[in-house]
A = this chain, B = another copy of it.
């Protein structure tokens, strides 16, 4: 059987709800998307509940499910995924947090949870990595802007500790506490508190903060830790599917998921992981990579960001920019293309929802259905029906001629 290649395009937060500003259409329904529609007409559409019906997915659990990894089995917290994304190794027994640089006052009040979305925080790495806590090792690495990851290593490190993030600006930074009565949890919480105390001192006197104070910019003078989790013990994508895979994504989380599954990371010029990302560069990088890879996962973040901002018109325009780049995928040879999302981010809600996401399959071997447009209400009557996230990889393996027979 001829084995086709697979390209999975995830448009983050794509799904939406009818919006008054768009005449009760969703941004995708209202967008002019001739190339996505071309694929819908010649392919098949459907709806996907990435976790299950009505469940509001996080970005981490949703991506695990889309790539065929049941989050109920593999997900323990976002920390280890973010750490993998910034290139920090999380070994067996280690615990990882995702981090934000934040601005606090002398009384501990958090006044900016993102330190004014500081442009880059790599300058802090070397000073932070000099901090010593007896019996433990801490490794910090910066990600985009205020984001980063912290790994704690040592004998008996436990992920059963709370966050110091107050969640709401104006509240005081919380104390890290054990969330179980285990001795390891108590010891870990205490060690992290010691680390944070020193980190605040290091940050206060750091040249970058001195510069920011002069510029009247919010200081990056504490670190908020969230999503404590142990290393994911996970079978690699290659081992699970026999696919040599690569990921093209700007955001640390998506790169982290891919890295955790053993995928290569490909950097595309101008791919920022934001609204301004160079979409066409990503698509072209994918086309190039398909010459040597079996599976490409492209992630586009912008739609989700417009959703969180409640900007339906911006989301519609972003989708139209994606569509223009999708034109490049129409003539791919020997490749099954899947276009979908990790979750819906309705502009009305400015948050993730549990509404199913549109799904489009295009390529040789895909059964045609009656839909001629890529949009929520069209996909609802598409030939693929209403599937779950964990169904996607088996469907792609089948269409690409790669599925093993079950029985004889």
Quick check: A78 and B398 within 8 Å, CB to CB?
no
Complex Cα spacing A59 to B408, Å: 6
Copies in the complex: 2
- Contact of A319 with B by CB under 8 A: no
Chain A's interface size range is 35 or more
Q: Is the CB of B405 within 8 A of A352?
A: yes
- Min CB gap A377→B, angstroms: 5
Whether A406 pairs with B47 at a CB distance below 8 angstroms is no
Is A351 part of the binding interface, using a Cβ–Cβ cutoff of 8 Å? yes
Instruction: Kindly state whether residue A5 has any CB partner on chain B within 8 Å.
Output: no
Q: Let me know if A327 is at the binding interface, CB within 8 A.
A: no
Bound-state CA distance A349–B227 (Å) is 46
Name the one of B77, B370, B380 contacting A377, with C-beta atoms under 8 angstroms. B370
Inter-chain CA distance A365–B383, complex, in Å, is 25
The interface residues of chain B lying within 8 Å CB-to-CB of A85 are: none
| Bound Cα distance A18, B43 (Å) | 10
Closest chain B CB from A143 CB (angstroms): 15
Of A62, A380, A381, most B-chain CB atoms within 10 Å: A380
Mark each residue of chain A from 30 to 58: 1 if its CB lies under 8 Å from any CB of chain B, else 0. 00000000000000100100011111111
Chain B residues with Cβ under 8 A from A380's Cβ?
A: 44, 367, 369-370, 382-385
* A394–B55 CB distance below 8 A: yes
Determine whether A226 belongs to the interface, using a CB cutoff of 8 Å to chain B. yes
B60, B386, B407: the one contacting A57 at CB < 8 Å is B407
A391 at the interface (CB under 8 A from B): yes
B residues near A404, Cβ cutoff 8 Å: 56
Please name all residues of chain B whose beta carbon is closer than 8 Å to the beta carbon of A369 when the two chains form the complex. 377, 380-381
Interface residues of A (CB under 8 A from B): 1, 17-18, 24, 26, 44, 47, 51-62, 71, 75, 77-78, 226-227, 346, 348-349, 351-355, 365-370, 376-377, 380-387, 391, 393-399, 401, 403-408
Q: A54-B398, A60-B407 are in contact. List 10 more A-B contacts (CB 8 A).
A: A17-B365, A54-B394, A57-B406, A62-B407, A354-B397, A354-B398, A355-B398, A367-B376, A369-B377, A386-B387
